[in-house]
A and B are shown apart, each in its own frame.
Chain A
Amino acid sequence: MTESSLDPAAAPPAQARPGSGWRRFAADWASDQTSFKGVSWGKAMMWVFLLSDTFVFGCFLVAYMTARMSTTVPWPNPSEVFALEIGGTEVPLILIAIMTFVLISSSGTMALAVHYGYLRDRRKAGRLMLATALFGACFVGMQAFEWTKLIREGVRPWTNPWGAPQFGSSFFMITGFHGTHVTIGVIFLLVLARKVLRGDYETGRRGFFTSRRGRYEAIEIMGLYWHFVDLVWVFIFAFFYLW
């Protein structure tokens, strides 16, 4: 195919580099053509993007912690604020616990989807992606419920009944930003699931926007994003709700 007319003799000799694991690691990095051997462009791009996005979330969290530590007014107690009344008793953090559980489960279904994708079992892969999207949608739904509840109780971005106004500001900003990530993920999952179920990756159908052919690897790249969003949630959970 495209390889056709290359004369192997004219190419530079392969560089044999003996040595320890680290040396070989460095040699791989510095060798020609690709720095990450066997990693496709799409996957490399997702990793770089996630690194950048890590800095976004990192800045958000650091900013929130600064606000929380420097405020002179008491910070509302998260266990009380985020409690639900079930059967007459206040259960602290119950909703968040369920949300966290749902999101982590969705990482499981995502991982299975990747697995079946590589097995070219498009039915199972597609359905598992739909399940992942469903979990994600549940998560966003519960978040919407939580937002509604807090707003009913008088929490606003600029004020709240229990203490430092930065509580509401940070809460809406950080969970909102994370929720947006989940929502975008759900949308992409649905689009990708449709492609998988339709068999685009078998027939070589070209993408609507990029006009490129896709591969089952797309599921894994999607999975990277999804696991990342999940991991970020764990940090938000720890720093916002448990602190």
Chain B
Amino acid sequence: MVDVTHGGPISGGTASGAAPAFEVGEPDLYHPRSWVTKYVFSQDAKVIAIQYGLTAMAIGLVALVLSWLMRMQLAFPGLLPFIDADHYYQFITMHGMIMVVYLLTALFLGGFGNYLIPLMLGARDMMFPYLNMLSYWIYLAAVLLLVAGFFVPGGPTGAGWTLYPPQAILANTPGQSWGIVVMLASLMLFIIGFTMGGLNYVVTVLQGRTRGLTLMRMPLTIWGIFTATVMALLAFPALFVGAVMMLFDRLLGTSFFMPAIVVTGEQAPYGGGSPILFQHLFWFFGHPEVYIVALPAFGIVSDLISTHARKNIFGYRMMVWAIVGIGALSFVVWAHHMYVSGMNPGFGFFFATTTLIIAIPTALKVYNWVLTLWRGDIHFTVPMLFALGFIVTFINGGLTGLFLGNVVVDVPLSDTMFVVAHFHMVMGVAPILVIFGAIYHWYPKITGRMLDTTLGKIHFWMTFLGAYLIFFPMHYLGLLGVPRRYFEMGETAFVPASAATLNVFITITALVVGATQMLFLFNLAWSLRHGREAGGNPWRATTLEWQTPETPPAHGNWGAERPVVYRWAYDYSVPGAPQDFLPQNDPGPDLASSGETVAEGVR
């Protein structure tokens, strides 16, 4: 008897000698009966993924517009009269927070996680579809609350995306009355919503794989998303606690983070708290957060490269261990963001060392990508271009990261444009390139049609080159000493007048690059109707999501029977095989003769 309820273990053993049956029965899927339960309050991970994706992109557009406004101010101070210092800080804060949390985290985990985990694992859906649905709606509420910040009295908070107290809640900081409250509440909602989704992703990967899909046969995309989700479940609590405590400081007048302080000649009603405590809580979340957006990108890029170079990924096992190792290490490096906050030199030494150690698994991944490309049959498809763009950009940002990881180098560079250049390269541009590549890659599966290639190539070159033109000069500005988070520079002795020219150049490029993204949005909308029919497996890829009986995959994904996996995800150009790829659920040409090797040895 199969237990079809909550997927408990099936009672009764397997026939002796035969292959094991499904350990877990079919999930009790919810079947939508109306348009509303099918497309709005849907419990299907694929629909939830699209909802997450569209919401994240919409709020990302807001952040893009904010970056234009900031760039306008930096290049042409005073040209847009409504941007005063307060507004500038509000724009910076909202831009940073939206980009990192509400766009990248939500899109990688809520978007790609929801879409790819069940499909790549041969599952019918996430394990807890109802919770999954709640996750999206709470995320949406968090986004709406965040946007509400623009409309409350005093506007959104201008404390910087790091929200450091004491200034975040003191008078004279923009958005001190409402904005900061709305921001903290929105973050708490986001975390609650994310946790609901995250439990789904983790449990589905651990307990919901199909027959034959061992952990070491999972595509690296899944490894990346899985590890990132585990990290998020352990890192977000610190932000949650920090947000609760700061809300209390702001609303109840507690002094968790507030020292005794004099504001405009008056003693503020606070005392005895520690602002550094907040910094620790924030960065205990903040640094893992960098890898929460980087690890899914690592995973996806590995799969894109392998597929479009028609070659197996180099060093799969090492890639897996590198992902897991980076995930673990990134919990012991957080204070490299606090070198200038003042700390015991011993701690500085410790955190610099751990930071540099992370470079080892990271470099290993880069080498493996390059070795995968080596002598590959490289197809310069749009997803491949974006994947290559990612590798270059990531190396770049990674190298400046090595600079900043050292205390003595970081102290003079901290809070300059050099830091802005560094983190935009490594966690701004690089993951965004992967997101684009991934959308070009999986759009055919999601909609059944290809995105337009010409538009895609224009989009790639404009974005890739543009990003370098924008952020490369910022390294130089930073070395000159141009500070970060400055509304305007005014007259200074150390910054030459030519820096202003450079700023104009950066701004114009930023406007153009931003406008190019409209091309991408147009492509998304246009190809939905007019794109070339994609068929089930346009890239001739091996992973399970391309082997669904229908494209786009139907409710329940697999028709009558879930697939059975015989091999790892990277059997491209296998000698002797009839095609240059063997799907994971393909028993293989010569199963009869060498059954054991195919199942276990080849992987």
Report which A residues bind B (CB closer than 8 A). Answer: 1-3, 5-6, 8-15, 29-42, 44-45, 48-49, 51-53, 55-56, 58-60, 63, 66-67, 70-73, 157-158, 164-166, 168-169, 173, 177, 204, 209-215, 217
Contact = CB atoms under 8 A, between A and B. Distances in A.
Interface of B: 1-2, 4-9, 14-15, 18-26, 28, 30, 127-130, 195, 198-200, 202-203, 206-217, 233-234, 236-238, 240-242, 244-245, 248, 252-256, 269, 271-274, 277, 281, 284, 560-561, 564-566, 587, 595-596, 599-600
Kindly list the 10 A-B residue pairs having the minimum CB-CB distance in the complex, ordered from nearest.
A11-B19, A55-B237, A169-B254, A59-B241, A8-B18, A2-B26, A12-B599, A158-B253, A56-B237, A52-B233
Contact of A66 (B25, B28, B234, B277): B277
Nearest to B240: A56
Main secondary structure of the interface of B (DSSP, over half): loop
A33 to B, nearest CB: 5
B596 A13 contact: yes
Given A56-B237, A59-B237, A33 B213 contact: yes
Given A2-B2, A67-B273, A35 B211 contact: no
A71 B252 contact: no
Contacts of B130: 209-212
Contact of A30 (B19, B214, B253): B214
Contact of B214 (A32, A37, A67): A32
Given A31-B215, A32-B217, 4 more contacts: A34-B24, A59-B284, A73-B272, A157-B254
A33 B272 contact: no
A169 B255 contact: yes
Nearest to A30: B215
A35 B23 CA distance: 11
A134 B432 CA distance: 52
Contacts of A55: 233-234, 237-238
A44 to B, nearest CB: 5
A9 B18 contact: yes
B83 to A, nearest CB: 37
A37 B215 CA distance: 14
A12 B4 contact: no
Contacts of A3: 2, 21-22, 25
23 contacts: A2-B4, A2-B25, A3-B2, A11-B18, A11-B564, A12-B19, A13-B596, A14-B19, A32-B212, A33-B211, A34-B24, A35-B206, A36-B206, A40-B7, A40-B8, A41-B127, A44-B206, A52-B195, A73-B272, A157-B248, A166-B254, A177-B244, A215-B6
Contact of B6 (A13, A164, A217): A217
Given A2-B2, A12-B19, A215-B6, A71 B272 contact: yes
Given A45-B199, A63-B277, A169-B254, A33 B209 contact: yes
Contacts of A39: 207
Nearest to A221: B6
Nearest to B5: A213
Contacts of A59: 237-238, 240-242, 281, 284
A6 B28 contact: no
Contacts of A204: 5
Of the candidates A45, A72, A213, the one having the most CB atoms from chain B within 10 angstroms of its own CB is A45
Contact of A1 (B4, B7, B30, B213): B4
B568 to A, nearest CB: 12
Contacts of A30: 214-216
Given A10-B587, A34-B24, A164-B272, A15 B600 contact: yes
Contacts of A165: 254-255, 271-272
Given A12-B566, A55-B238, A63-B256, A215 B8 contact: yes
A41 B128 contact: yes
A165 B270 CA distance: 9
Given A5-B561, A10-B564, A41 B208 contact: yes
Given A52-B195, A212-B5, A60 B248 contact: no
Contacts, number: 211
A217 B28 CA distance: 16
A12 B23 contact: no
Contact of A11 (B20, B26, B272): B20
Contacts of A31: 214-215
From A5, A32, A51, A217, name the one whose CB has the most chain B CB atoms within 10 angstroms.
Answer: A32
A156 to B, nearest CB: 8
Counting chain B CB atoms within 10 Å of each CB, the highest count among A9, A59, A177, A213 belongs to A59
Nearest to B3: A215
Contacts of B254: 157-158, 165-166, 168-169, 173
A8 B269 CA distance: 73
B241 A63 contact: yes
Given A2-B2, A51-B234, A55-B237, A66 B274 contact: yes
A41 B7 contact: yes
Contacts of A49: 195, 199
A33 B23 contact: yes
Contact of B22 (A33, A36, A157): A33
A158 B272 contact: no
B135 to A, nearest CB: 13
A8 B216 CA distance: 22
B213 A32 contact: yes
Contacts of B203: 41, 44-45, 48
A169 B7 contact: no
Contacts of A12: 19, 211-212, 564-566, 599-600
B562 to A, nearest CB: 9
A211 B130 CA distance: 9
A12 B21 CA distance: 10
A157 B253 contact: yes
Nearest to B210: A33
Contacts of A45: 127-128, 199-200, 203
Contacts of A58: 237
A6 B561 contact: yes
Contacts of A14: 19-20
A63 B127 CA distance: 35
A62 B396 CA distance: 37
Given A32-B565, A214-B5, A48 B199 contact: yes
A205 to B, nearest CB: 12
Given A1-B4, A45-B199, A8 B234 contact: no
A2 B245 CA distance: 50
A121 to B, nearest CB: 20
B195 A158 contact: no
Taking each of B9, B206, B274, B564, which has the highest tally of chain A beta carbons within 10 Å of its own beta carbon?
B206
Contacts of A15: 599-600
Contacts of B199: 45, 48-49
Nearest to A60: B241
A34 B19 contact: no
Contact of A173 (B2, B248, B274): B248
Contacts of B271: 165
Contacts of B233: 48, 51-52, 55
A217 B20 CA distance: 25
B323 to A, nearest CB: 15
B212 to A, nearest CB: 5
B378 to A, nearest CB: 32
Contacts of B216: 30
Contacts of B202: 48
Q: Most A CB atoms within 10 A — which of B8, B207, B564?
A: B207
Nearest to A58: B237
A211 B29 CA distance: 9
A131 to B, nearest CB: 26
